[in-house]
Structure 1
Amino acid sequence: MRADIVWWDLSVSGQTIESMREYLREESVAAFSEVPGLRFKMWLSDPDTNRWGAVLLWESEEASQQALPSRALELIGHPPQVAHGFDVEATTEGRYETQRLALQGLAFVETTQSNNG
């Protein structure tokens, strides 16, 4: 298994965390749901430092080398300031209450709340 971590500083970009959330809802989450060999992708944001990033968990190094259906580079306008790949030493799953992992997070919580209001 392989893990990749990427971080962008949005302060030198025309994008915001809110605009990137819209990109997740409208395009990116669905596109990454179809990527062969991708076990998990989690998008991250840090409003205090205006950073945007992701953690990807791959079944293999080969899977991690494929072209990805991402327009983040195009939208943000520059490569990530941090991009590292790692070998995975071990994995586990803890106890949890939320059965469905897909479509969780702020990008979808805000949509659900606005649709219920």
Structure 2
Amino acid sequence: MFGLTVRWSLEDAPKKTANELRDYVRDSSLARFTGMSELRFKTWRMRPGEWFEGTYVFATVEARDTFADEFAEKAADSPVSKTVGSPPQLQETFEVVAVAEGGAGFAAGLGSTNG
């Protein structure tokens, strides 16, 4: 499996940005990536006031690299960049060595809805 991380800084973003990002994921982004061809899963992570991140895991290196190249071209104009007020500070590819599913099982969908 082949991963991509895209991270934005929230250090200079207004406090309301964390809630706006949660709303964006819930109202738009979650549906866009659910069922996406060649995508194994996507995780949205955030440390309010510090950073917001999208982590993608693809079935093939080609799918990952195509998505990464296309995203890099438009990253500065992405909905998250517009919400945060700046482009991503990091776009990094990686290899996923393994994924273990715990006893609680895998749950798709929204996690915490507040900070």
| TM-score, normalisation: structure 1 | 0.73
Q: What residue ranges of structure 2 are gaps of 5+ in the alignment?
A: 72-77
Identity %: 30
Cα deviation 1:56-80 (Å, max 9, x = unaligned): 1110112122346x63234334321
Instruction: Give the equivalent residue in structure 1 for 2:92.
Output: 84
Letter in 1 for 2:56: L
Please give the root-mean-square deviation of Cα atoms over the aligned residues, in Å: 2.3
Partner in structure 2 of residue 44 of structure 1: 45
Whether the aligned pair in 2 keeps the contact of 1:5 and 1:56 (CA below 8 Å) is yes
Matched residue type, 1:25: R
Residue identity opposite 2:39 in structure 1: L
Give the 3 Å change call, closer, same or farther, for CA 102–90 of structure 1 in structure 2. Answer: closer
Q: How many aligned positions are there?
A: 104
CA contact (8 A) 2:17 2:83 kept: no
Go from structure 1 to structure 2 and tell me whether the alpha carbon gap of 1:34 and 1:90 turns closer, same or farther (over 3 Å shift).
closer
The one-letter code matched in structure 1 to 2:24 is Y
Q: Deviations over 1:14-60 (max 9, x none)?
A: 6711100000111000011132111111101102x431112111101
**Structure 1: stretches of 5+ with no match in the other structure:** 111-117
Give the TM-score of the pair, scaled to structure 2: 0.74
Larger radius of gyration: 1
